[in-house]
């Protein structure tokens, strides 16, 4: 079976199309990887590339794109709504098939060392690759942002995991890590009352007493419906159907129901198979029984 990793680097450029295309081109021209998606957001002034391949090719492509970003992006001129620390803001590696989280963590550590050695950008490790508990979550690492790096790096508690405690003059620092596939999952309600969506979000998310591995907020969807917008951080432990059913139960309390739901971006095959396992009460269903999955083995 192929050993496949997904890499989803976030760069601090969402406006200059030629820079975004140059970054994408470094991925397209690296042997052994496939660029799946490029998303740029001009208000965030940030772009997100998604690509896959075997571990070594993905590391090479990530390093090449990071090198290009350090050349082309000057953080001293960067403004945008999304919190960020550097030109190459964050590089997560995600195990997709045929390899363990431990192997992804080791690859993240090796990639971080290369980024320091070749590009002289200091690196923090996060998520599964974190070296300390307080560095697991991106929001904690990003506190102070690029503009606060000088003071932050001087604190012993925030010494970088790799490199000198001084930010790169134009590229700041980079955060590298390994994490499980994240599922972006939105549920639209039968009501337009956003307050109902906010209450449901508070009930279902980890931070306020709900499901572990679930982040949620209540927003207004483009269609006008109230929406519970979620990130499912570990579908292997907290599957999609559990979030769906809990939202349904909480919505009923407010006299609302689920109108429809939406997977934003990509979802792993196992997460889809788990939905079928749950609702069809399947016994002994193996993903190798899915014809297309068997073809990939």
> Cα separation of 17 and 54, whole Å?
28
Q: How far is the CB of 196 from its own copies (least distance, A)?
A: 17
Q: Shortest gap between Cβ of 69 and its own copies (angstroms)? A: 24
Q: Helix or strand or coil: residue 10? A: strand
- Rank residues 52 and 87 by Cβ distance to its own copies and give the closer one: 52
Q: Which candidate, 240, 242, 249, 195, places its Cα nearest to that of 219? A: 195
Residue written as token pair 């991925």: 27
For residue 63, the minimal CB distance to its own copies (Å) is 22
In angstroms, rounded to a whole number, what is the distance separating the alpha carbons of residues 157 and 255? Answer: 49
Question: Please, which residue, 154 or 249, has the CB nearer to its own copies?
Answer: 249
* CB of 199 vs its own copies, minimal distance in Å: 20
Our CB check for its own copies shows the closer of 163 and 268 to be: 268
Q: Collect all residues with Cβ–Cβ distance below 8 Å to 214 and sequence separation of at least 6.
A: 204, 205, 206, 230, 231, 232, 233, 238, 243
Q: Rank residues 12 and 188 by Cβ distance to its own copies and give the closer one.
A: 188
For 233, residues 6+ apart whose C-beta sits below 8 A from its C-beta are 179, 180, 182, 213, 214, 215
- Choosing from 82, 109, 235, 254, which is the catalytic residue? 82
Q: Does the active-site annotation cover 82?
A: yes
CB of 84 to its own copies, least distance (A): 26
User: Which residues fall within 8 angstroms of residue 280, CB to CB, at 6 or more apart?
Assistant: none
Query: Which residue number, 115 or 266, has a Cβ lying nearer to its own copies?
Result: 266
Question: Cα angle at 211 between 205 and 215, to 5 degrees?
Answer: 35
- Name the minimum Å distance from CB 184 to its own copies: 11
Of the chain, the end-to-end C-alpha distance in Å amounts to 5
DSSP state of 129: T
Task: Give contact residues for its own copies (rule: CB under 8 A).
Answer: 4, 6, 34, 36, 52, 96-97, 181, 188, 240-241, 244, 258-263, 265-269, 272-273, 275-276, 279-285, 289-296
Quick one: 115 or 182, whose CB is closer to its own copies?
A: 182
| Integer CA distances (angstroms), 295 to 2, 6, 70, 78, 291, in order | 11, 20, 40, 46, 6
Please check whether residue 23 is in contact with residue 69, taking contact to mean a CB–CB distance below 8 angstroms: yes
C-alpha distances in angstroms, 162 versus 15, 30, 109? Answer: 30, 25, 9
Residues with active-site annotation: 82
């Amino acid at each position: 079976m192929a050993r496949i990793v997904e890499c989803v680097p976030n760069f601090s450029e969402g406006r200059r199309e030629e820079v975004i295309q140059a970054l994408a081109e470094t991925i397209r021209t690296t042997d052994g990887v496939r660029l799946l998606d490029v998303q740029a957001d001009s208000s965030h002034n940030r772009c997100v590339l998604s690509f896959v391949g075997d571990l070594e090719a993905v590391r090479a492509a990530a390093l090449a794109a990071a090198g290009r970003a350090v050349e082309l992006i000057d953080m001293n001129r960067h403004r945008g709504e999304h919190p960020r620390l550097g030109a190459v803001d964050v590089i997560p590696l995600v195990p997709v098939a045929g390899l363990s989280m431990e192997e992804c963590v080791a690859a993240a550590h090796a990639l971080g060392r290369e980024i320091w050695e070749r590009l002289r950008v200091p690196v923090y490790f996060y998520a599964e690759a974190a070296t300390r508990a307080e560095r697991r979550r991106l929001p904690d690492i990003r506190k102070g942002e690029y503009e606060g790096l000088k003071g932050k790096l001087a604190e012993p508690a925030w010494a970088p995991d790799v490199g000198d405690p001084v930010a790169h003059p134009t590229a700041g620092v980079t955060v590298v890590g390994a994490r499980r596939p994240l599922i972006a999952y939105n549920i639209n309600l039968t009501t337009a009352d956003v307050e109902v969506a906010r209450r449901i979000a508070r009930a279902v998310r980890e931070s306020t007493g709900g499901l572990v591995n679930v982040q949620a907020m209540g927003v207004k969807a483009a269609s006008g419906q109230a929406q519970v917008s979620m990130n499912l951080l570990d579908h292997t432990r907290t599957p999609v159907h559990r979030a769906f059913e809990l939202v349904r139960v909480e919505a009923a309390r407010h006299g609302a129901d689920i109108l429809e739901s939406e997977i934003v971006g990509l979802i792993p095959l196992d997460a889809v198979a788990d939905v079928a396992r749950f609702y069809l009460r399947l016994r002994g269903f193996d993903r190798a029984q899915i014809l297309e999955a068997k073809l990939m083995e």
